[in-house]
Chains A and B, each alone.
Chain A
């Protein structure tokens, strides 16, 4: 019989703690598949964030360092400099990357640090119970923006991919959405490309994954996918914002 699906070798065969309908688990799988396909498991070191993915090291089957909130790009820089032949990536939420770790991500990109960043944007803080993130949409209600995010006092949501794409050291910046099977396939392609860019030595690479948090959005998994498409995707367009060829295109 032909085997059509298997758990990637770089993923441990165990259930995750993520909520039903959360795409953290899918993104883990895409990373593990990529590492298997590129044959780099033996030289990969991942960096886990603070946030819902803090336990990522329980699921990946390769070396992982857990980092302080937002500092993953700095930790990855340290690892990368010690292991020039290594494959180093960070896995970060939007609170982690766009708020407390905003300086670290910008400067890792500025240095053209040869790391890959998988950035999970679910427009909210998941682990601490649904507070406002820098990526929370205007009018979106969270536990710390109970009347909806107000532009006048809380500013507009930050578009990290667009911002980082202006940085010369960033070789590959893309945004994908995990809300459909086709979106998942595109996400896989982007993640693989980001790792290939790292392997080529071209510089910093990041894939922003538009993701769901049904638990803190107060929705069913199905509603959450629809909310992502109708609310997040218009503000956060998917596409490749920077490639090693310098092409900037929105798809």
Chain B
């Protein structure tokens, strides 16, 4: 049996990263994720790793670029305003096909915003964020245990497909404490880094680069990036479906909001309403097929987010007009209450479900 320990979300991510073989961390402080760099600064030297507090998020992500290019398992973490600064480097990492892990413990925005949990960086995380044609693999854990499991998985997936991966959490997940088990990471075939710039001893020189001045070449490069993401779509999409088969109303939510929706579902079921939950575990690639399948039987969807409506656009794309997709959102760092969501479910049930 693996050991079970009480861990704070942020520290769980850090410990999981170390257990997954990450030995390099470059970061810059911002609330509410400071426990990650703090934990790394303590723990990495114990395992022969390196922690550098960079002069800015821009520098931190570029240190990640250098280290990833030299073949290391490397990560950085930040929260919303800091992730905005990292976008330049994220685009370069994606362009150069460099694997790494980026953790975003989202806080309310825009601008300096606040320090309370939010989900308002969804667009930025899944639709690009930086410039150019690229995608990240984005995991959205809903528990401290999942923070551990998905952090470990994210490193492998980033290396298999040569692209940056992101853990998209929020202030609540980062701060909450739950018992976790650190399993041996799932063994996956990770290819050798036969592209890393480590010194050209006994081989031809290598270049880490995202510059293609010839448009045809850039076109081919972008097609190759898109092709790799197609493979991610085919193999790595993850979504949890709870009580969806017989559901009239399907809630769609991720992360913290999905936890609240789970209790909304239980309370609704107790009062006789057939409510289910679709919980994406990856939001990039998005589980369009799984949600589309649920739309064959469900009478209505309700997407719940801590934003003014971002993931709801993907839910609508998945449902493709087969059922109405409603939205309930809170913003600015306000966490939705189960009671308010339940009231919305009952309203929808009255309007949509009672129809013949």
Question: Smallest CB-CB separation from A113: which chain B residue?
Answer: B52
Can you name 10 A-B residue pairings with CB atoms under 8 Å?
Answer: A66-B208, A68-B92, A71-B58, A74-B63, A74-B66, A75-B62, A75-B65, A79-B197, A82-B74, A107-B54
User: A62, A78, A103, A104 — which one has the most chain B CB atoms within 10 A of its CB?
Assistant: A78
Question: Contacts A76-B66, A78-B70 given; 17 further ones with Cβ under 8 A?
Answer: A43-B199, A45-B70, A45-B199, A47-B66, A57-B209, A61-B200, A62-B199, A63-B207, A64-B208, A66-B96, A75-B63, A77-B66, A82-B67, A82-B70, A82-B71, A83-B199, A104-B58
Q: Given that A42-B201, A66-B209, A78-B26 are known contacts, is A103 also in contact with B55, CB under 8 Å in the complex?
A: yes
Q: Which of A47, A64, A81 contacts B24 (CB 8 A)?
A: A81
Instruction: Annotate B190-230 by CB proximity to A: 1 below 8 A, 0 otherwise.
Output: 00000001111110011111110000000000000000000
Question: Smallest CB-CB separation from A77: which chain B residue?
Answer: B63
Task: Provide the residues of chain B in CB contact with A87, threshold 8 Å.
Answer: 199
On whether the beta carbons of A79 and B66 are closer than 8 Å, the reply is yes
Is A99 at the interface (CB under 8 A from chain B)?
no
Question: Smallest CB-CB separation from B64: which chain A residue?
Answer: A78
**A215 vs B117: C-alpha distance when bound (angstroms):** 53
Is B83 at the interface (CB under 8 A from chain A)?
no
On whether the beta carbons of B52 and A64 are closer than 8 Å, the reply is no
**A68 vs B211: C-alpha distance when bound (angstroms):** 10
Is B315 at the interface (CB under 8 A from chain A)?
no
**A101 vs B52: C-alpha distance when bound (angstroms):** 18
Is A239 at the interface (CB under 8 A from chain B)?
no
8 residue pairs, one from A and one from B, having the closest CB atoms: A78-B66, A74-B62, A42-B201, A78-B67, A63-B197, A75-B66, A43-B199, A78-B63
On whether the beta carbons of A77 and B89 are closer than 8 Å, the reply is no
> What range describes how many residues of A lie at the interface?
35 or more
On whether the beta carbons of A83 and B198 are closer than 8 Å, the reply is yes
Instruction: Find residues 12-47 in chain A having any chain B CB closer than 8 Å to their own CB.
Output: 41-45, 47
Q: Which of A63, A103, A106 contacts B200 (CB 8 A)?
A: A63
Is A67 at the interface (CB under 8 A from chain B)?
yes
Q: Which of B59, B62, B72 contacts A82 (CB 8 A)?
A: B72
Q: Given that A42-B199, A71-B59 are known contacts, is A81 also in contact with B67, CB under 8 Å in the complex?
A: yes
CB distance from B21 to the nearest CB of A (A): 13
Task: Provide the residues of chain A in CB contact with B30, threshold 8 Å.
Answer: none
User: A80, A81, A83 — which one has the most chain B CB atoms within 10 A of its CB?
Assistant: A81
Q: Given that A74-B62, A75-B65 are known contacts, is A41 also in contact with B200, CB under 8 Å in the complex?
A: yes
Question: Smallest CB-CB separation from A106: which chain B residue?
Answer: B55
Is A145 at the interface (CB under 8 A from chain B)?
no
CB distance from A27 to the nearest CB of B (A): 19
Instruction: Annotate B246-284 by CB proximity to A: 1 below 8 A, 0 otherwise.
Output: 000000000000000000000000000000000000000
Question: Smallest CB-CB separation from A63: which chain B residue?
Answer: B197
On whether the beta carbons of A66 and B211 are closer than 8 Å, the reply is yes
**A62 vs B201: C-alpha distance when bound (angstroms):** 9
Task: Provide the residues of chain A in CB contact with B63, threshold 8 Å.
Answer: 74-75, 77-78, 81
Instruction: Find residues 62-114 in chain B having any chain A CB closer than 8 Å to their own CB.
Output: 62-72, 74, 88-89, 92, 96
Q: Which of A42, A63, A81, A104 contacts B50 (CB 8 A)?
A: A81
**A78 vs B60: C-alpha distance when bound (angstroms):** 9
Instruction: Find residues 161-217 in chain B having any chain A CB closer than 8 Å to their own CB.
Output: 197-202, 205-211
**A20 vs B145: C-alpha distance when bound (angstroms):** 62
Is A248 at the interface (CB under 8 A from chain B)?
no
Task: Provide the residues of chain A in CB contact with B210, threshold 8 Å.
Answer: 66
On whether the beta carbons of A57 and B199 are closer than 8 Å, the reply is no
Is A169 at the interface (CB under 8 A from chain B)?
no
Task: Provide the residues of chain B in CB contact with A64, threshold 8 Å.
Answer: 197, 205-209
